[in-house]
Amino acid sequence: MKHIMTLNTRDMAKSAENGGCGECQTSCQSACKTSCGIANQNCENENR
Amino acid sequence: MIHQYKLNGYNIVLDTYSASVHVTDDASYDAIAMLDQGMDRTAIGDRLKQHYAGDGLTDADVADIFADIDALIADQKLFTEDVFKDKAFDLKNRSNVVKALCLLVAHTCNLNCSYCFASQGRFDNKTGLMSFETGKRALDFLVENSGFRRNLEVDFFGGEPLVNFDVCRQLVAYARSIEKEKKKNFRFTLTTNGVNVNDEVIEWANKECYNVVLSLDGRKDVNDRFRVDKAGNGSYDRIVPNFQKFVKARGGKGYYMRGTFTHFNTDFTKDIFHMADDLGFSQLSMEPVVADPSSPGALTREDLPEVFRQYEILAKDMIRREKEGKPITFYHYMINLEGGPCIYKRISGCGSGTEYMAVTATGDLYPCHQFVGDENYRLGNIWDGVTNTALRDEFKLCNVYARHDCDNCWAKLYCSGGCAANAYHATGDIHGTYEMGCEIFRKRIECAIMIKAAEMQMQSQAD
């Protein structure tokens, strides 16, 4: 592409097929305790 | 749905439902905006050639721009539709697996921070320490209700958990004694104010806790405004040496220096930089205070422009530090674009009241630590389990699609609709939204993604 650069991101549609295992960290167990941010949670599904 | 913004010289386009991130030149940025407004391509091309005539934009360039855009559309990375809405309804059928507990091992505190959402740890005056037997039963409850989940999380919280350190230690020993047989992996975290941190605590926490959250608000005068003992003395001089020793001994294991900023220090990047540059910490977090609007430290709408400016200062400075080989991390900018959460997590959120619960010192269950003490939100207890199943079902369905304020928000799959407790405290309804918190959240996501764009640029230059 000449005009647009795209960052590598997780395929959300694909994650609908193989996601939802629930092994990832609960967001409030990290540092916030007063907000809900899930974007910084790492996926722990080894089969994704 | 898309969202476009310009920050630090980057033109960024976010595609909400694919979670794609694009960095564009000026002309394609404008072309995408005009397409989003429904303009036809001939008119867009004419507008671009007129606007960018000085840059020598040609018909061929316009064709290239549309070719780039069409490739992204074909690849499902731009102007994607919401194909996930129906997934939200699956959530009501999801299992009742519990995977994380916040253990309030001490409903008391050795500090007296006036902004504490836990009423200085007393949670509406219900003081007390958790017994080992209660804590043990909480761990058994977690194991019994965790299904096939292997990773179980337990946070020692309070009040101040180290006031009840012996029980924390005994509970970890108990968990370690059963985890192999039960095929579980306990991950412990400790949130502490630092007053009781000593060599014994450090050795234990560095062996057993995969993350520790260390509360410090930054500069001495800022920290000591709220983080005082019962006599009103500031805690900074006592806790900073403890934290420095703690982190140094941690040997690379995870920690966060976790501060709170208020109306009185909207220049909070100075506190972050103080912790980084003067105190030597590199893993940092700084949260906006959660407070009743009538309290003097509560953030006001008038504070927001400065708060946003501070987040930009922080983001730009983190890029500088990374370039200089001395990076720091900031919790809310640690966005994981490639290996981050799946769509289910992005819809369902923090799991409060379902897979995540708080346990009081006497064994009562609440949806999370911020609901503790509110009788309407008591789910049950660790002996009888969740008895208020209607409340659990309410939380099960409390996802991003249940919050209609989020319908047109581009950031909804980064926050899952936000914190239920904040929504409840702001609107009286867990399905509401805490709008000021949303505005702050959106700004942080913009900054976090801009940093990713800068990192991509740095990487491509290095290559």
pLDDT of B90 > 80? The answer is no
Cβ neighbours of B27 in A, within 8 Å = 3
Q: What pLDDT is recorded for position A27?
A: 72
Strand pairing report for B364-366 and B356-359: antiparallel
The ipTM is 0.93
Rounded Cα distance, B49 and B47, in Å: 6
Q: What is the pLDDT of residues B400-456, one digit of tens each?
A: 998 889 999 999 999 988 899 999 999 999 999 999 999 999 999 999 999 999 999
Closest Cα of chain A to B149: distance in Å? 6
Across the interface, whether the CB atoms of B256 and A30 are under 8 A apart is answered: yes
Helix (H) or strand (E) holding B23: strand B20-24
Mean pLDDT over residues B253-257, rounded? 94
Q: What pLDDT is recorded for position B89?
A: 60
Across the interface, whether the CB atoms of A19 and B344 are under 8 A apart is answered: yes
Closest in B72, B290, B338 to A4, CB measured: B72
- Name the interface residues of A facing B (CB cutoff 8 Å): 1-13, 15-16, 18-20, 22-45, 48
**Calculated CA dihedral for residues B330, B198, A29, B151, nearest 10 degrees:** 120
Across the interface, whether the CB atoms of A10 and B349 are under 8 A apart is answered: no
Q: What's the one-letter identity of residue B436?
A: M
C-alpha B44, offset from chain centre: 40
Q: What is the pLDDT of residues B380-399, one digit of tens each?
A: 999 999 999 999 999 988 88
Cβ neighbours of B349 in A, within 8 Å = 27, 36, 38
Q: What pLDDT is recorded for position B138?
A: 98
Interface test with A, best of B342, B368, B410 (most A CBs within 10 A): B342
Cβ neighbours of B341 in A, within 8 Å = 24, 38-39, 41, 43
Q: What angle do CA B150, B151, B153 make, to 5 degrees?
A: 140
Q: What pLDDT is recorded for position B126?
A: 67
Instruction: Write the CA distances from B96 to B39, B333, B353, B400, integer angstroms.
Output: 48, 31, 10, 19
CA-based nearest residue to B266, from B71, B410, B46, B436: B436
Cβ neighbours of B336 in A, within 8 Å = 39-43
Q: What is the pLDDT of residues B303-318, one digit of tens each?
A: 999 999 999 999 999 9
pLDDT of A31 > 70? The answer is no
pLDDT of B27 > 90? The answer is yes
Q: What is the pLDDT of residues B44-82, one digit of tens each?
A: 999 999 999 999 999 999 999 999 999 999 999 999 999
Q: Mean pLDDT over all residues of chain B?
A: 94
pLDDT of B324 > 90? The answer is yes
Closest Cα of chain A to B388: distance in Å? 22
Interface test with B, best of A24, A38, A48 (most B CBs within 10 A): A38
Q: What pLDDT is recorded for position B122?
A: 64
Q: What pLDDT is recorded for position B124?
A: 61
Cβ neighbours of A4 in B, within 8 Å = 13, 22-25, 28, 68-69, 72
Q: In this predicted structure, which of B47-51, B175-179, B360-364, B432-436 has the lowest mean pLDDT?
A: B432-436
